[in-house]
Amino acid sequence: MRNTVRLVGLSAYSLLAIIPAVSSAEARTLRSIQANHTLRVGMTGDYPPFSLRSPVGQMSGADVTMAQDLAKALAVALEIVPTTWRTIQADLQADRFDIVMGGVTVTPERAAVGDFSTPVLRDGKRPIVRCADKYQYASIASIDRPEVHVIFNPGGTNERFAKEHLKHAMLEEHTDNRTIFDELATGHADVMITDGAEVDYQAHLHAGILCPAVVLDSFDHTEKAFWMTRDPALKAAVDEWLTPIVQSGHYEKALAAAANRAPPVQEPSTH
Dump pLDDT digits (tens) for 235-263.
999 999 999 999 999 999 999 888 776 54
pLDDT for res 2: 39
CATH of the domain at 54: 3.40.190.10
What is the mean predicted confidence (pLDDT) over 230-234?
Answer: 96
Q: How far apart are CA 30 and CA 96, in angstroms?
A: 15
212-224 mean pLDDT: 95
Checking if the pLDDT of 42 tops 60, the result is: yes
Say yes or no to pLDDT of 5 above 60. no
Considering the domain architecture, whether residues 175 and 188 belong to the same structural domain is answered as yes
117 and 18, same structural domain? yes
Domain annotation covers residue 270: no
Percent of the chain whose predicted confidence (pLDDT) is above 90: 77
pLDDT mean over 4-15: 42
List, in order, residues 6 or more apart from 19 with CB less than 8 Å away.
none
Q: Are residue 95 and residue 151 in the same domain, yes or no? A: no
| Residues 134-146: tens digit of each pLDDT | 999 999 999 999 9
- Does this model's pTM top 0.75? yes
Tens of pLDDT, residue by residue over 68-122, are 999 999 999 999 999 999 999 999 999 999 999 999 999 999 999 999 999 999 9
Place 7 in a pLDDT band, splitting at 50, 70 and 90.
low
pLDDT in tens, 166-186: 999 999 999 988 899 999 999
Same domain, yes or no: 100 and 169 = no
> Is 81 in the same domain as 172?
no
Q: State the average pLDDT for the chain.
A: 88
Query: Does 265 reside within a domain?
Result: no
Give the number of domains in the chain: 2
Q: Kindly state whether residue 271 falls inside one of the protein's structural domains.
A: no
Please answer whether residues 135 and 216 qualify as being in contact, where contact means their C-beta atoms are separated by less than 8 angstroms.
no
Looking at the fold, whether 111 and 137 belong to one and the same domain comes out as no
Domain final position from 212, 231, 251 = 212
Taking residue 271's Cβ as centre, other Cβ atoms within 10 Å add up to 4
| DSSP code string of 234-263 | HHHHHHHHHHHHHHTTHHHHHHHHHHHTSP
Q: Are 225 and 194 in contact (CB under 8 A)?
A: no
Give the per-residue pLDDT at 144. 98
CA quadruple 207, 140, 51, 249: dihedral sign: positive
Do 91 and 144 share a domain, yes or no? no
Domain identity same for 188 and 72: no
Query: Is the domain of 114 the same as that of 130?
Result: no
Statement: residue 16 has pLDDT above 90: no
pLDDT surpassing 80 at residue 19: no
In a domain, 196, yes or no: yes
Specify whether 13 is located in the same domain as 89: yes
Query: Which residue segment(s) compose the domain that 42 sits in?
Result: 5-121+222-260
